[in-house]
Structure 1
Amino acid sequence: MAVEVKEHNTKVEPPCSTNSLSNYLWEDHPDEEKWADCVHCGMCLESCPTYLETGQEQHSPRGRVHLIKSVAEGKLEVNEQFMDPVFQCLDCRACTTACPADVDVGGLIEEARGQVRQAMPLKGWKGAVSHLFLKDLFPYKNRLNAVGGLLKFYQKSGLQQVVRKSGALKVMPKHLVEMESIMPPIQQSVQKKYKDVDVIPANGQPKATVAMLTGCIMDVMFADINQSTINVLTYNGNEVVLPKNQTCCGALHVHAGDRETGKKLAKQNIEAFEDAEKVIVNAAGCGCALKEYPELLRNDPEWIEKAEEFADKVEDISKYLYDTGYEKPYSELNKRITYHDACHLAHGQGIRYEPRQLLNDINGVEYVEQPNADTCCGSAGIYNITNPEMAGAVLERKMENVPRDVEMISMGNPGCMLQMAIGVQKYGRRAEIVHTVQLLDWAYQQDQRNGIGQSDGKQPVAAREG
């Protein structure tokens, strides 16, 4: 059942403001506690993709913190000059990792964007497009599945080849043409595939029951990764539940400043997963957003405790497998692979070691560490669509660090997969873009074809403490 939240556009006094001069006139103003520890030391500068590209202070983490604080002190208005640095940020969280005081710049940015969009709502065609995707499409599974069906027809019917050969794509912006060129094959969503199944059974004796977030874009564009996630979970003795009334995580909405819709989606997901002991996620951005529901709902006394309980259940697939133990594959993939740290996995959730260990536990994998593996690729949700020039510059810097002789680039986030696929194509690389869980699934499938693995009674990798 969807949770209704009334939209409004009424100015209110900030409920927690300690400064009557503040120019934040809307709910959810940036939290003073988040900037209080910033001493403008500059440790964040070399970690910030936009500062590295522009060299401009207002496009650095400490510069943005200063601007956000200035609005709170009444020294600056919420206007175009404030909006540009706030929305140019990739919200990659690398600055918080670099910060000795752990200043939550990402949280400040998202709260500031909420203020901007309240004070300066998008209008014209930009407002219409934003409303179409954020409010009319992403929150509704049936509509997303319909779009998926159209994309599948576009690919399978031959229309895609006709459009490409006709030159019709030349009228589109360059970055959208690039996105079309690397669009993955559309497959049936797992929500649709298992719509009549209450519980997907474990292989053999079940050891746990977990719920899985299927996501919005994930289940339309990357249904094969969702299926691989189910395969790996069930192979390792987990029963899998796909709550029917789950919805989009709301990450894109919060990044865009639409906090009201983000809250609505958060409440729906909290209710959908109420009975789950674990909520497994295979998309870094989604997992980070789910874990930050307590931040999003911090001013809602009715929901804050529920949000905290929910956030404690959320686990990335790589960390869940590492912590609970998984069967090490016995077949060989024989691939030279490097790993890209998705920002919201490495910086947002602090998960770095676990996915690398999964890769190293696959026989035949020659793992090559990527220099600066945790630098942003420029995807950042839909940043590569809304800020294509900066995203392209960040991607170019990223591709310079990708080893040239690898056959695969593994990662744990769909947005990164699309952006890195553009990079591979644009810069003449031959590497295949894969999700980490896919590699484990492929190795298990090879085991099953070879008649080895579970049926041989071989022991799984032991569960880890912590």
Structure 2
Amino acid sequence: MSAPQTGPPLPGSPDERANLLGDCVHCGFCLPTCPTYVLWGEEMDSPRGRIHLMDQHAKGEPLGAPMVEHFDRCLACMACVTSCPSGVQYDRLIELTRAEVERDHPRPLRERAVRELVFRLFPYRRRLRALRGPLRAYQRSGLDRVVRRSGLLERVSPSLAAMERLAPPLGRAPRLPERVAARGDRRATVGMLVGCVQGEFFPDVNAATARVLAMEGCDVVVPRGQGCCGALSMHAGRADEARAFARRTIEAFEGVDVVVVNSAGCGSSMKEYRALLADDPAWARRADALSDRARDLAEFLAELGPRAERRPLPVTVAYHDACHLSHAQGVRAQPRALLAAIPELTVREIADPDICCGSAGTYNVLQPEAAGELGDRKAANVSATGAELLVAANPGCTMQIAGALRRRGAGIAIAHTAQVLDASLRGLGRDALIERGS
């Protein structure tokens, strides 16, 4: 007779799921914070409703298409986690559920094809890099406007049309050296994640990040062996794929005291490595150490404290809370404090800041209609601030909100927190910052 199990249940086990499901008391505090419930008012498209479906499945209800659709419609934005008075770990529940969906639920052929395209492209920098040249030529030729007016891609696949619309205007792509030396006395040595979409579609953000860190006294190490952190795979239930990406990332950054991340989704995932690899004896301790060392850029700069002189930037900005920064990492005050410390810069708040913009990793590609509604809602709230510049700290949010602002005809530039700090520290001035963010 085997001895009874002691200690916490194994990750991914039925006992873990049962414990997590039992935490929900169905109070409804999550409802007004859930983007899809706000849009449609449907109980099964709320966290409480989805937990009910998860419980039904755990008791034997099969993963049919209607049930899976409700799980697919979830943005995993985690607004419900921060609003829950009972501490329900909905983020873990949806992660476990999506892994089971990926493993056991047969999707239609067209849906499988789109998903394979997404996950065979976006986590691979070399593939994205190979796409840059043709995509840049396509944009510069004006063919993009012709295709959008024709509606051709929309008829072929709404997801492909969404991918085409979301692509930002592409310029030259500066490459970072493997090491950027600190200005003045060195205060710290940090590793820097360049990211996949961030690295190839927003290389100026990485360049600004490295400059800001160097001006604040950091030696910046940019390992050539780094790849995707696994964020997209982790949040889509592709657990084995996420683990493989995580192991490679851990190896790349061992040897540095801090890993600075300027993409909210990536930073959130790296802090979750300890849970992702908890049941892997060869990697659990290394994953735990990496999670301890991972810091969002704003979080790290706030801990480090300012040294470089802030020069005036007479500009009014609206700050956007990326879900995986505010809800997942609890980083809210730090970026606002960094911006507020810049002379002559004014920060304005956006209404309903906790409602997701609709980006959510691959959500705006796989669920384009719902994402479009949320993007339009966010763009309206951004426009209402009257700000000249929107500041966002996640590439997905930047692409999503930029597209929605274009649909409104709103001429609001978008920049990363790093780019605003870089402009102030270098004394570039307001016009240069607005131009870079356009």
TM-score, normalised relative to structure 1: 0.83
Aligned AA (1:241)? V
Tell me whether 125-134 or 65-74 shows the greater mean CA deviation.
125-134
Contact (CA 8 Å) 1:280, 1:315: kept in 2 or not? yes
Q: Deviations over 1:370-393 (max 9, x none)?
A: 222222101111211111111122
Secondary structure at 2:151's aligned position in 1? helix
Contact (CA 8 Å) 1:329, 1:440: kept in 2 or not? no
User: Is 1:85 matched up with 2:65?
Assistant: no
User: Is 1:446 matched up with 2:427?
Assistant: yes
More helix by share: 2
Q: 1:362 to 1:179 in 2, by over 3 A?
A: farther
Contact (CA 8 Å) 1:152, 1:186: kept in 2 or not? yes
Secondary structure at 2:260's aligned position in 1? strand
Contact (CA 8 Å) 2:376, 2:405: kept in 1 or not? no
1:48 match: 34
Secondary structure at 1:83's aligned position in 2? helix
Q: Deviations over 1:282-312 (max 9, x none)?
A: 0101111111112222332322222111100
In the TM superposition, what is the alpha-carbon distance from 1:247 to its structure 2 partner? Answer: 1.1
1:351 match: 331
Query: 2:114, 2:405 → 1: CA distance?
Result: 29
1:32 match: 18
2:364 match: 384
In the TM superposition, what is the alpha-carbon distance from 1:404 to its structure 2 partner? Answer: 4.1
Tell me which of 228, 231, 237 is aligned to 1:257. 237
Aligned AA (1:342)? A
Q: 1:336 to 1:167 in 2, by over 3 A?
A: closer
Aligned AA (2:145)? R
Contact (CA 8 Å) 1:45, 1:61: kept in 2 or not? yes
2:434 match: none
1:421 match: 402
In the TM superposition, what is the alpha-carbon distance from 1:167 to its structure 2 partner? Answer: 6.6
Query: 1:87, 1:163 → 2: CA distance?
Result: 29
Q: 1:385 to 1:447 in 2, by over 3 A?
A: closer
In the TM superposition, what is the alpha-carbon distance from 1:176 to its structure 2 partner? Answer: 5.5
Aligned AA (2:86)? A
1:131 match: 116
Query: 1:91, 1:432 → 2: CA distance?
Result: 27
Secondary structure at 2:295's aligned position in 1? strand
User: Is 1:101 matched up with 2:86?
Assistant: yes
TM-score, normalised relative to structure 2: 0.89
Query: 2:135, 2:13 → 1: CA distance?
Result: 38
Query: 1:347, 1:166 → 2: CA distance?
Result: 37
Q: 1:293 to 1:262 in 2, by over 3 A?
A: same
Query: 2:54, 2:259 → 1: CA distance?
Result: 34
Q: Deviations over 1:325-370 (max 9, x none)?
A: 1236442221111111000000000000000011111112121122
Contact (CA 8 Å) 2:12, 2:96: kept in 1 or not? no
Listed as ranges, the matches of 1:255-294 within 5 Å are 255-294=235-274
Query: 2:187, 2:386 → 1: CA distance?
Result: 40
Tell me whether 322-331 or 44-53 shows the greater mean CA deviation.
322-331
In the TM superposition, what is the alpha-carbon distance from 1:110 to its structure 2 partner? Answer: 1.4
Query: 1:111, 1:176 → 2: CA distance?
Result: 27
Contact (CA 8 Å) 2:318, 2:385: kept in 1 or not? no
Percent of residue pairs identical: 39
Alpha-carbon RMSD across the aligned residues, in angstroms, is 2.6
Contact (CA 8 Å) 1:417, 1:433: kept in 2 or not? yes
Contact (CA 8 Å) 1:381, 1:415: kept in 2 or not? yes
Contact (CA 8 Å) 1:117, 1:257: kept in 2 or not? yes
1:143 match: 127
Aligned AA (1:38)? C
Q: Deviations over 1:412-464 (max 9, x none)?
A: 1111111111221122322111111110111122179xxxxxxxxxxxxxxxx
Contact (CA 8 Å) 1:187, 1:220: kept in 2 or not? no
Q: 1:139 to 1:428 in 2, by over 3 A?
A: closer
Tell me which of 93, 100, 115 is aligned to 1:115. 100
In the TM superposition, what is the alpha-carbon distance from 1:66 to its structure 2 partner? Answer: 1.7
Aligned AA (1:428)? G
Q: 1:27 to 1:349 in 2, by over 3 A?
A: closer
Query: 2:88, 2:129 → 1: CA distance?
Result: 39
In the TM superposition, what is the alpha-carbon distance from 1:188 to its structure 2 partner? Answer: 5.0
Query: 2:62, 2:123 → 1: CA distance?
Result: 33
Contact (CA 8 Å) 1:330, 1:362: kept in 2 or not? yes
Listed as ranges, the matches of 1:236-247 within 5 Å are 236-247=216-227
In the TM superposition, what is the alpha-carbon distance from 1:82 to its structure 2 partner? Answer: 2.1
Aligned AA (1:411)? A
- Aligned residue pairs, count: 419
Q: 1:181 to 1:71 in 2, by over 3 A?
A: closer
2:318 match: 338
Query: 2:137, 2:309 → 1: CA distance?
Result: 36
Q: 1:409 to 1:276 in 2, by over 3 A?
A: same
Q: 1:301 to 1:49 in 2, by over 3 A?
A: same
Aligned AA (2:329)? Q
Contact (CA 8 Å) 2:318, 2:387: kept in 1 or not? yes
Q: 1:79 to 1:284 in 2, by over 3 A?
A: same
Query: 2:22, 2:173 → 1: CA distance?
Result: 45
Q: 1:144 to 1:183 in 2, by over 3 A?
A: closer
Query: 1:73, 1:426 → 2: CA distance?
Result: 45
Query: 2:258, 2:172 → 1: CA distance?
Result: 25
Contact (CA 8 Å) 1:178, 1:422: kept in 2 or not? no
Aligned AA (1:387)? Q
Q: 1:179 to 1:128 in 2, by over 3 A?
A: closer
Aligned AA (2:47)? P
In the TM superposition, what is the alpha-carbon distance from 1:396 to its structure 2 partner? Answer: 2.9
In the TM superposition, what is the alpha-carbon distance from 1:31 to its structure 2 partner? Answer: 2.8
1:4 match: none
Query: 1:184, 1:387 → 2: CA distance?
Result: 19
Query: 2:178, 2:146 → 1: CA distance?
Result: 45
Contact (CA 8 Å) 1:163, 1:169: kept in 2 or not? no
Q: 1:360 to 1:419 in 2, by over 3 A?
A: same
Give the unaligned 5+ runs of structure 1.
1-14, 20-25, 449-466
